[in-house]
Chains A and B, each alone.
Chain A
């Protein structure tokens, strides 16, 4: 009986994601200066849930799927910084709203939280990301990696995390070799909580990545390349999110080039109430 319940609870990767993001938010609120703050997080979660409910009604879904909305809002709370509460509310509305509005062949193409972050940073003068604020503590990086691997294991298609980290590390190493820089610099660049959050919780979102493994590999490599170009040539700090959002319109093309089955959160047996996100 208990085993069945546990299996049902953790069979859906979103429950693990929710637990991990909640834990990370708690750590961030307590430990990190100039990090997340409770009011912004509450506003983001509230606005995300409200948008999800409203959009679900408008498109006539039998019920609103709140887990994905909360996951996106928690990611926003962890990564986005604003100088007013409306920044977080607007980011959450854009993130969730775009899932319903920007769809190609029934699949939304933008990662919700990356889109919210990118739009707010480009379109307003009130938002920013703080990539250094997680600190470079190795222990914390390890913890995040392990937690992230749980999600990897749980949601099947997140092989893209490994592809992406492989490409990202490879590019950093290649740059260090070219410049003659010590490995300590590459390690400093990798020991970064924001990078791991991006890899494990954002680019890995199985609903907004190519369906086929080859497509995912190509997409991960492109995101890594563009992010490096933005970061090192243009000295652009939110390079990861801008690269992911900028390249997302390629996903339908990659899906056409490399067709494969669409990902669903629930197993075939549990597909009775399939939601759009």
Chain B
């Protein structure tokens, strides 16, 4: 028996779960006293505009559901009828790979010896990605008036139904009687989707098949359709949310950057030099910085975290994706589906846009509407660690270098305080502890004086 309903990602998907803390961008509805809350949802959208009335979309929704598979179910509004061949499952590792590849990154540079050559810009030593922020028609009784089960499919470990409805009451009754407990306000939102001509994709777990397949977890579901609607429905997801939720959308397109049209799209602060200790907990830095950026925009913006042609990266936060992985995620326009690293160009290229929104019903009342642009400029959330010279630098240029370091560290502290809202004094103390001193280390004393005099 399905016990709990949560909705989510894509077009208001509902996830039925008895588990705790799932990360779907949808809403979680708890029956009885179960405590459910959302962390971050990951949605991959592969979008190809082939002509005025010819748009293909594939949406893959990742859940980190850990609960009892018997209590999992999902409801996703979709704009068209969905045939069996339009549904699939994707390995979670593929989405994790794309997540790591597009995540904000930390880059390290090392100063050269100031005595032997002018300090150069250094070279990138490592790039490390931030950890993810959170890991056929049948007759219906009157009570289900207007509801039609248009198709039922077996899809890997899931049993999938495609429903159409004419009125929200019938659909709400059908869902409720089938074990979905809807949150307050859900019928109104369902009604809105019904009037917009949307159908409902419902999936639950088939335990026998899941056992046969030997999977210990639920794989992300993918739905592909042909529709002009280029959007990520988030409305149902806000109904029972316990505070704001995070949505990270990875949008693949052959054309260029994707942006929101009904909310402001803002660039994540990037390119700043930050204190070296940030490397020890880059995740905390990213989280604090994102929270501050959200607060500065009064939570009314979608943040661009990465936008890049997938044929190359610099620095790469993870290994580049293979052709097969991109095809698995829905980018079926590329030229090959083999296991080679993707290098597509021209019409077979893939531009990835990573958008991150923190949303709730008050600040994001409307579904997230998207548009593709021809803009192929690169953007990445990138933060720089600049290691000072660690060797000997006993010369006048070295003196100037050492004298300049406290100012540089001070600027790094100010930048970090500004980006994260952390206390500047605490940042300074932590920098002193980790070797970034605010007093100059230039060599001094009589020994140095005479040594230089002789030289």
User: Which A residues are closer than 8 A to B by beta carbons?
Assistant: 33-34, 81, 83, 125-128, 130-137, 178-182, 184-185, 187-189, 192, 234-235, 237
Contact = CB atoms under 8 A, between A and B. Distances in A.
A137 B373 contact: no
A126 B255 CA distance: 10
Contacts, number: 84
A156 to B, nearest CB: 34
A83 B366 contact: no
A235 B365 contact: no
B208 interface: no
A244 to B, nearest CB: 18
A-B CB proximity, top 10 nearest: A184-B365, A135-B264, A179-B192, A235-B228, A33-B267, A128-B373, A132-B261, A237-B371, A185-B366, A33-B266
A132 B263 contact: yes
B448 interface: no
B298 interface: yes
A188 B366 contact: yes
Interface residues of B, number: 35
Contacts of A179: 191-192, 195-196
A130 B191 CA distance: 30
B82 to A, nearest CB: 19
17 contacts: A33-B264, A33-B265, A33-B304, A83-B375, A128-B371, A130-B265, A130-B373, A132-B263, A132-B264, A135-B297, A137-B298, A180-B192, A184-B366, A187-B365, A188-B366, A192-B262, A234-B228
Interface string B174-218: 000000000000001001100110000000000000000000000
Contact of B262 (A34, A182, A189): A189
Contacts of B98: none
Contact of A237 (B195, B229, B261): B261
Q: Which of B195, B263, B297, B371 has the most CB of A within 10 A?
A: B371
A130 B374 contact: no
Contacts of B297: 135
Given A130-B261, A185-B365, A235-B230, A137 B371 contact: no
Contacts of B260: 132
B265 A34 contact: yes
Given A132-B261, A234-B228, A180 B374 contact: no
B259 interface: yes
Contacts of B255: 125
B30 interface: no
Nearest to B301: A135
B97 interface: no
A185 B373 CA distance: 25
Contacts of A132: 259-265
